[in-house]
Amino acid sequence: MIVQTALLIGVVLFSVLAIALRDVLRSAISLAVASLLLGIVFFKMNAPYAGVFEISVVAGLITVLFILTIALTRAGDEVRESRLVNWVFPLVFVAFVAVDALVMKSLLGKVPALAAGAEAGTFGEVLWKGRTFDLVGQIAVILAGVFAVLALFRKREKHD
């Protein structure tokens, strides 16, 4: 349990760094480290497939996409952030974490849970038989993403 707590603290720390750091490239790398730690937490939770997806896709592919975008928009990273945020952000975050620590345990006791039978079979069976509709949705979402990127990067006509 101590290892999980340390990993989760690392996830929150690197996520906060990803938002708070001024340099966008460092933010993207912090986000990748947070994803890596979250993937290890998933492995510890006996969820190897989710862990592999988290590490390979979120920590790998999404970071590459972010770094590519940062490289393409390098000259425009001098966005002036609000100074107020620099001290309001940690203050509100610490206040939220304190309230979270006080309230969450009693809140969780009140969450109603639907009765459900125990799970049987392997992950593949659950994915292919139980969540077939999700897989169809995933294919549709990937296609929608591909078409959206194609539409956004299409070559302009000469008369435009």
Partner 1 sequence: MTNAWYLYVFFAAALVCAGLLGLLGKRNLIKLLIAIEVIGKGVSLLLLSTGFAKGHILTAQALVITFIVVEVSLVATALALIINVYRHTKSLDVRNLAKLKG
Answer for which of 3, 141, 155, 157 binds partner 1 (CB under 8 A) is 141
Does residue 105 bind partner 1 (CB under 8 A)?
yes
- Listed in sequence order, the residues at least 6 apart from 48 whose beta carbon sits closer than 8 Å to its beta carbon are 42
**Closest to 25 in 3D by CA, of 57, 67, 65:** 67
Does residue 71 bind partner 1 (CB under 8 A)?
no
Radius of gyration over every alpha carbon of the chain, rounded to an integer in angstroms: 21
Q: Give me 23's structure tokens.
A: 């340099």
DSSP 85-150: HHHHHHHHHHHHHHHHHHHHHHHHHH------PPP-S-HHHIIIIISHHHHHHHHHHHHHHHHHHH
Angle between helix 2-20 and helix 83-110 axes, rounded to 10 deg? 150
Answer for which of 28, 33, 110, 157 binds partner 1 (CB under 8 A) is 28
**Complex with partner 1: residue 153 or 159, whichever CB lies closer:** 153
Does residue 3 bind partner 1 (CB under 8 A)?
no
Taking the complex as a whole, the smallest distance from the CB of residue 159 to partner 1 amounts, in Å, to 19
Answer for which of 3, 33, 34, 159 binds partner 1 (CB under 8 A) is 34
Does residue 81 bind partner 1 (CB under 8 A)?
yes
Burial of 59 (0-12, 13-18, 19+ CB in 10 A): buried
Does residue 130 bind partner 1 (CB under 8 A)?
yes
**Complex with partner 1: residue 5 or 157, whichever CB lies closer:** 5
**Complex with partner 1: residue 102 or 159, whichever CB lies closer:** 102
Does residue 19 bind partner 1 (CB under 8 A)?
yes
Taking the complex as a whole, the smallest distance from the CB of residue 31 to partner 1 amounts, in Å, to 6
